[in-house]
Structure 1
Amino acid sequence: MDLCMKKGLCFMMPKNLLYIALLGITLFSNYGCVATLLVGGGAGAGTVAYLKGELKSTEEASIGSVWQAAHRAMKDLGFIVTNEEKNNLSAKLIAHGSEDTKIEINLESVSARLTNVKIRVGVFGNESLSRLTLERIKKHL
């Protein structure tokens, strides 16, 4: 009789391989999220990521400067600001364009010269319009 049959190891090996494969799949499927957190968490201004329908960026400018740039960007793109809220630490701007396209821009002050920017187009997001919006905001900074 084979050694693995005596010890009962042959029956456990396929089960262990299944667990190892599932663990590997789980680790690799979450690799992008972990890498984004590591890169985004350690980086400063200039970090841009598009996740779950929302474009996130950190800009090297005060929240007031980014706020003004966001308004100019909306005007450039032909959007009308329909709602806005602002205080010293955060701001929210909602604008609508043709075909009832909605852009929501959220700003959060990180420091006097650093602002987090979050842009969402519609409910599910639109990466190209989000990136165009960010590009226009940067143009006015």
Structure 2
Amino acid sequence: MPAIKQKIHFLLILFLCLNLSGCLFALGGAAGGGAAIYYKGWLREKVARDMYTVHEATLKAMEVKNISLEEETEYTDRFRIQGKYMDGTNVWITVKHLTANSSQINIRVGVLGDESRSRALWDEARRHM
């Protein structure tokens, strides 16, 4: 019986340590997946849609948000899109092919990255998928 109590105490202490340090929530967030991550000025998300569907939805979102299309380049495994808001703020978007039914989108608004505008553009693109 003392061995079981030791294991229970160990697990309880481990749980409390992870919870107090915030690592428990990081593990939960990593396990959840599917959420857009904003890191170093770029909004990134993996999507369960093919590259062409995401590309078309992105172009429609740019139109709705009044972002002019400055340049668009198609490669075998990705699309690169450059645009500009009416106020002159640049927009860079990359849609990468991952598998036949999945892709990754990267969005950056402005030189330093504007998270709220990036998320608003991505939310609009998701509405068109």
Whether 2:49 is the aligned partner of 1:94: answer: no
Whether 2:40 is the aligned partner of 1:52: answer: yes
The within-5 A match list for 1:1-141 is: 35=26, 39=30, 46-141=34-129
Looking at structure 2, the residues matched to 113 and 88 of structure 1 have their Cα atoms a distance apart, in angstroms, of: 15
List, as ranges, runs of 4+ consecutive aligned residues in structure 1 with deviation greater than 6 Å: none
Give the share of equivalent positions with the same residue, in percent: 25
Give how far 1:69 is off: 0.5
1:8 equivalent in structure 2: none
**SS of residue paired to 1:66:** helix
**SS of residue paired to 1:100:** coil
1:82-108 residue CA offsets vs partner (Å, 9 max, x unmatched): 001113311110111111011111111
**SS of residue paired to 2:60:** helix
Structure 1-normalised TM-score?
0.68
Higher RCO (CA-CA < 8 Å; seq separation 6+): 2
Looking at structure 1, the residues matched to 93 and 117 of structure 2 have their Cα atoms a distance apart, in angstroms, of: 12
Task: Count the aligned residue pairs.
Answer: 105
**SS of residue paired to 1:128:** helix
Rg: which structure is higher? 1
Looking at structure 1, the residues matched to 125 and 60 of structure 2 have their Cα atoms a distance apart, in angstroms, of: 7
Give how far 1:47 is off: 2.7
Give how far 1:125 is off: 0.4
Question: Structure 1, unaligned stretches of length 5 or more?
Answer: 1-27
Structure 2-normalised TM-score?
0.74
